[in-house]
Amino acid sequence: MAKPETHEELVAAIEARREVGEALEPPVIDAFVERIERRIDERARERQPVKRDRDKELALAIITLGVSIPLIAIVGGMAGLPG
């Protein structure tokens, strides 16, 4: 459903078109369409999911595994089977 200000802008654009006549109709319609397109773009940007940085997440996982495996081996060698 259209927001009240969008409806008001549409009514104002129609009235302006009637007042200026056919000669200036395209600029009036173009200006209204541009406002609607801007609003659509704003809403689309608001709805976009936050982009995750997968490269950094992968690097952290690799580093974690690279560090934890040798540590486990060292602890296991020092403590024996219970370690």
- For residue 18, pLDDT over 90 is answered with no
* Residues 3, 43: Cα–Cα separation, whole Å: 13
Residue-level pLDDT at 83: 58
For the chain, give every domain's residue range.
Answer: 1-48, 52-83
Residue type at 6? Answer: T
Q: Is 29 exposed, middle or buried (0-12, 13-18, 19+ CB in 10 A)?
A: middle
Encode pLDDT of 23-63 as tens digits: 777 887 788 888 889 988 988 888 877 677 888 888 999 99
Q: Residue 64 has which token pair?
A: 């974690």
Give the model's confidence band at 76: pLDDT under 50 very low, under 70 low, under 90 confident, else very high: confident
